[in-house]
Amino acid sequence: MSFMEPATPRAIQFGATLTDGGGAYHSRGREIMACLGKLTTREVDVLVLLVAGKGSKTIACDLGISFKTVECHRARVMEKLGCAGLFELGRAWEAAVLSNRRKTATR
């Protein structure tokens, strides 16, 4: 998937959830939390470092794996979470964190 492709319906749907008052945003967070269970341990490691703003080369050094391996994990994370780019991945992560906070606060 290149950066020049038009927005997918999923990306448009995700963009719509950011401005509806939080209900669908919370729903997206629950959806992402469910998808996080499908990630491998290494994919989660890569995801956390990506969301922290680290580049693929830095992640490769931090985890002691090759750059190509990081790129492979990154692509799988994007596919499993249904994100088209890093910005969308960050917003999805934010939705998951907020959803988790809301869930634990109501217990």
Which fold, 23-105? Arc Repressor Mutant, subunit A (1.10.10)
- Please say if the pLDDT value at position 25 is more than 70: no
Q: Which two tokens stand for residue 78?
A: 């994007």
pLDDT tens digits, one per residue of 40-98: 999 999 999 999 999 999 999 999 999 999 999 999 999 999 889 999 998 888 888 88
Candidates 24, 23, 5, 3; CA nearest to 14 is 24
With contact defined as beta carbons under 8 Å apart, do 56 and 14 qualify? no
Token pair for residue 89?
A: 């991945």
Q: Which two tokens stand for residue 17?
A: 């959830």
